[in-house]
Amino acid sequence: MTENNEPLLSVRDLKTYYPITEGLLRRQVGSVKAVDGISFDVEAGETLGIVGESGSGKTTAAHSILRLVEPTEGQIIFDGQAVTDLSGKDLRNFRRRAQLIVQDPNEAFSPRMTIGEAVAEPLKLHGLSDQQRRREIVEDILERVGLSVEDVNRFPHEFSGGEKQRIAIARALVLNPDLIIADEPTSALDGRVQSDVLGLLDRIRREFNIAVVFISHDIDVVRRFCDHISVMYLGEIVEQGPVDEVISNPSHPYTRVLIGSVPSLDPEDRSLAKPLTDTIPDPSDPPTGCRFHTRCPEVIPPEGYNISHEQWQLLARFRFTLEAGELPEEVDIDLIDEPLDEAMVRSVFGLPESFSYGAVDATVSSAIEALISGDLDGAIDAISEEIVTPCEQTSPAMIEQDGISVACHRYDPAKAGSPLSWTGGRTTSPIEHD
């Protein structure tokens, strides 16, 4: 047990890269930076939610902490010990104290083992040889998770998804862990069953003072379950802090997009957030600077641009849409029969005849001209050489402010942009209640 003020789990600058290999000799030609320098602490008994889209690296982060995949770099300190240095008996002991619950309970159980055997198995593996004692522990734990003693002799297929997830929780609990890493534990469940299993996990972890790292794509579930939240995008943490504060007043534009994409329970508010572009960049070749800048509705204009936010957004969307290869087909010269004219391009991208900041007009015109002549690369070059956002030039540092950490240039006093207020197009955050 932790006795000092050190956190139970401390992750520093964790990196996990997967090699990309080519050819028969499997020569490494690059790497997917699935997790690229993340840091966080989890106190004993505390819950941390890690959210992000698929491909954000959240599951790799979870597996790296448990050393189910070997981290490439960085430190993982669990109760004062470096997890990356553990081997043999110490590693086994760590794996007793840190348990994993996976999304699909069907993958977690052998169909040939009774539930009693499945829950007792970890006890056996970790050396409890007294069969009677094992049985008592298993029966006790099954009752704690809402099942009954009679269930020990039944097989996994006799249980519903929600019940199986309760059994998975029972098996994680049986070794009396200090940390549970739960990877989308309720994503395969719906409605009240999801809510019940979340409630169960919450009651159990409070009762036994277990810390939980809760991986989810569902920011609303994280809001309900977790104390703290870390938002991941393309292998990096972009914002973290106490869950209530981050969700009621998200700072990072990506967090704002995630929250604004959750439909409101108010059927009269059907607005949904929209990033500048839809394409998630390739994690083996992430964008320079802030990795979110190609999709960021709040991307910072170049210094000296005297331009309204709306007009700047149009300009940025124009550039990143071309770069992302999301060229609307109405303006794709290869696809249309009639010659393309400038008015058409402007209307498709919502670009005004001239911008209030006249200095960009020539750039826009030359990009449009290139598009009309069918030279997409020329158009991209024209606009991306002239219209350069500070967000793509340097990686934002993690700025701490009132307990919230955010990696966005808008929050860096040394940078040009200043934070924009959060409305999400709505009067309230769609996932807040009461």
Partner 1 sequence: MSAENQWKNTDLVDESTSETTLLEVEDLMTHIHTERGTVRAVDGVSFDINRGETVCIVGESGSGKSVTCESLTRIISQPPAEIKQGRVTFDGTQLLDISEKEIRSIRGNRIAHVFQNPQSALDPVYTIGKQVVEAITIHEELEEDDARQRAIDLLRKVGISRAHERIDEYPHEFSGGMQQRAAIAIALAADPELLIADEPTTAVDVTVQARLIELLRGLSNAGMSMLWITHDLRVVAAIADRVIVMYGGTIVEEGPIKEVFTKPAHPYTQALFESYHGLADDSGRPAREHIPGDGCRFRGQCRFAVDECAGGNQPAFASVPDSSAHQAACVYYHNDRDPTQILEEATDARPIAPEVSDD
The answer to whether 433 contacts partner 1 (rule: CB under 8 A) is yes
CB of 159 to partner 1, least distance (A): 8
Smallest distance, partner 1 to C-beta of residue 203, A: 5
Looking at the Cβ atoms of 334 and 385, the one nearer to partner 1 is: 334
State the minimum distance, in angstroms, from the CB of residue 179 to partner 1: 20
Which residues 6+ apart lie within 8 Å of 363 measured at CB?
Answer: 382, 383, 386, 387
Residue 154 engages partner 1 in binding (rule: CB under 8 A):
no
Binder of partner 1 out of 268, 337, 377, 402 (CB under 8 A): 268
CA-CA distance, 74 to 321, in Å (whole number)? Answer: 35
Number of residues that bind partner 1 (CB under 8 A): 57
**329 part of the interface to partner 1, by CB under 8 A:** yes
Residue 272 as a binder of partner 1 (CB under 8 A): the answer is: yes
Binding marks (x or -) toward partner 1, 36..55, rule CB under 8 A?
-----------------xx-
111 touching partner 1, by CB under 8 A: no
Contacts of 369 (CB under 8 A, 6+ apart): 342
Site string for partner 1, 391-410 (x = CB under 8 A): --------------------
Nearer to partner 1, 125 or 336 (CB): 336
Instruction: Give the Cβ contact number of residue 274 at 10 Å.
Output: 14
Pick out residues in 203-262 that bind partner 1 (CB under 8 A): 203, 217-220, 224-225, 257-258, 261-262
Q: Are strands 399-401 and 47-51 parallel, antiparallel or unpaired?
A: unpaired
Report the nearest approach of partner 1 to the CB of residue 434 (Å).
Answer: 7
Name the segment binding partner 1 (CB under 8 A); options: 9-17, 65-73, 81-89, 144-152: 144-152
Query: Is the Cβ of residue 123 or residue 219 nearer to partner 1 in the bound state?
Result: 219
Among 85, 90, 136, 190, which residue sits at the site for partner 1 (rule: CB under 8 A)?
Answer: 190
Nearer to partner 1 by C-beta: 66 or 174?
Answer: 174
Which range touches partner 1 (CB under 8 A), out of 67-75, 131-139, 145-153, 356-364? 145-153
Q: By CB under 8 A, which span of 15-23, 28-36, 195-203, 307-315 interacts with partner 1?
A: 195-203
Closest distance of CB 140 from partner 1, Å: 16
Judged by the rule CB under 8 A, the positions of this chain that interact with partner 1 are: 53-54, 145-147, 160-163, 166, 189-196, 198-200, 202-203, 217-220, 224-225, 257-258, 261-268, 270, 272-275, 278, 280, 325-329, 332, 334-335, 430, 433-434
